[in-house]
Homo-oligomer: A and B are copies of this chain.
Amino acid sequence: MKHVSCQNCPLRALPLFVAHTDSQVALIESLKREQIVVPADRTVIHEGQGDAPLYTLFSGWAFRFKTLSDGRRQILNFLLPGDFIGVQQKMGDASAHGVQTLTDAMLCVFRRDAVWELHRSAPTLGFGVTWLTAHEESLVDDTLLSVGRRSAEERIATLLVVLYKRVAALLPDGDGQDGVPFPLTQQHIADGLGLSLVHTNKTLRKLERRGLHRIEGGRLHLLDVSTLTRIADLYGDGKPVPRPLI
């Protein structure tokens, strides 16, 4: 696998990510071990795996999940390019989650001590790690609010709007008029929202028949964002806060 320079990383060009100095990028690159390609539907990190490396998702989709011993699965959040993978595992925590790809993906693999080295050598980037971690927690917070207190219809509307905005922020400016890539199966949606597959299907169809959205050919189209937003009880301009990319 060709070792792509972090300096030329196409993700950094996106307005979603804050600029780092040359020396910061050089530090990140020095901590990077390699890039790996992972096919869709592969488990990247197993639940309970204690020695997982640190990754950044470079391309493709993935998700974090936990399961109960009888197989019930909860997806904790979906991972998009630029997302960190595996910080929690590095923290020696008993409760670990698994990570699985949704699509073919490319991951940047970092040295095991990368999180510490970032803190030690570049406070700004160390702060960035904290920021990313706190931000990911806020995504889980939002999902917990949904799963705990929203109806099935409200949950699905929320997921569609929130994911759409996250994906759109990664597309070249102005893109996303013709929908955005959407590789989730209905089983993934169900597992992400604490619903059964059947009820997820029925609720999705109901919203689709009302003309609020369309999922077709692996793309998600939001046809009536304002109604979806109202159903979801969401607020805020939806403009994502620029984030560090490590």
Which residues of A pack against B, CB within 8 Å? Answer: 64, 66, 68-70, 72-74, 76, 87-88, 90-97, 115-116, 119-120, 123-124, 126-127, 129-131, 133-138, 140-145, 147-150, 191, 193-194, 233, 235-238, 241
| Given known A149-B74, A236-B94, A241-B94, contact A130–B126 (CB-CB < 8 A) | yes
What is the distance, in angstroms, from A143's C-beta to the closest C-beta of chain B? 6
3 shortest interchain CB distances as A-B pairs: A148-B194, A137-B137, A74-B148
Contact flag A134-B68 (CB < 8 Å), given A74-B148, A140-B140 = no
Known: A72-B149, A134-B87. A127 touches B115 (CB 8 A): yes
A-B contact list, 6 entries, CB within 8 Å: A88-B141, A94-B238, A97-B141, A133-B137, A137-B137, A147-B147
State how many angstroms separate the Cβ of A78 from the closest Cβ of chain B: 13
Q: Which residues from B are CB-within-8-Å of A76?
A: 141, 144-145
The chain B residue with its CB closest to the CB of A136 is B137
Chain B residues in 8 Å Cβ range of A141: 64, 66, 76, 88, 95, 97, 140
Distance in Å: Cβ of A166 to nearest Cβ of chain B: 12
Q: Please, which residue of chain B has its CB at the minimum distance from the CB of A124?
A: B119
CA distance A127 to B91 in the complex (A): 10
Taking the full assembly, how many copies of this chain does it contain?
A: 2
* CB-nearest residue of chain B to A137: B137
How far, in whole Å, are A238 and B94 apart by their CA atoms in the complex? 8
Closest to A143 in B: B144
Q: A91-B131, A144-B147 are in contact. List 16 more A-B contacts (CB 8 A).
A: A66-B141, A66-B144, A66-B145, A68-B145, A72-B149, A72-B150, A73-B149, A76-B144, A87-B130, A91-B134, A93-B135, A94-B238, A115-B130, A119-B124, A120-B123, A130-B130
How near does chain B come to A92, taking the closest CB pair, in angstroms?
Answer: 5
Docked CA distance A137–B233 (Å)? 24
Chain B positions within 8 Å of A97 at CB level: 138, 141
